[in-house]
Amino acid sequence: MRYKYLFFFIVIVSLLGWTKQATAQRTVLSSKPVFSTAEKRDFRKREDSLKRFADSLINAEDPADRLRSDSQFIRSLVRALKVKNSFFIPFDSLQTISRLYAPDSSFRIFTWQYKKDNYLYLQEGAIQMNQPDGSLKLFPLFDVSMFTDRPLDSVRNRKNWIGAIYYRIIEKTFNGQKYYTLLGFDDFSLSSNKKWMEVLTFTPQGEPAFGGPYFSFQEDSVRKPNQYRFNIEYKKEAATRFNYDPELDMVLFDHLVPEGDEPLRKDSYIPDGDFEGFKWKDGYWVHVEKKIFDFKLKDGGFPMEEKMLDENGGANEQKLIEQSEKNVEAGKNAQKKAKAKTPPKKTGDQ
Please tell me the least confidently modeled range out of 6-15, 25-34, 206-215.
6-15
Strand order across the beta sheet in which 215-216 lies: 215-216, 284-288, 269-281, 250-258, 242-245
How many domains does the chain contain in total? 1
pLDDT of residue 9: 45
Q: Is residue 328 over pLDDT 80?
A: no
Inside any domain, residue 348: no
Q: pLDDT tens digits, residue range 175-188?
A: 999 999 999 999 88
Is residue 32 scored above 60 in pLDDT? yes
Residue 63 is assigned to a structural domain of this protein = yes
Q: How far apart are CA 229 and CA 248, in angstroms?
A: 21
CA distance 52 to 55: 5
Comparing CA positions, the residue from 123, 326, 153 lying closest to residue 225 is 153
Rounded mean pLDDT of 240-258?
93
The residue-averaged pLDDT of 310-328 equals 46
In a domain? residue 350: no
DSSP H helical segments within the chain, as ranges?
2-15, 19-30, 37-59, 63-81, 317-341
pLDDT, tens only, 76-108: 999 999 999 999 999 999 988 999 999 999 999
In a domain, 98, yes or no: yes
Mean of the pLDDT values across residues 222-229?
A: 94
Q: What mean pLDDT comes out for the span 318-324?
A: 49
How much is the pLDDT for 31?
60
pTM beyond 0.85, yes or no? no
Asked if residue 223 belongs to a domain, the reply is yes
Whether 113 shows a pLDDT value over 60: the answer reads yes
Beta carbons of 11 and 99 less than 8 angstroms apart: no
Answer whether residue 347 is part of any domain: no
State the average pLDDT for the chain.
81
Q: Which domain holds residue 221?
A: 2-341
Per cent of the chain over pLDDT 70 is 73
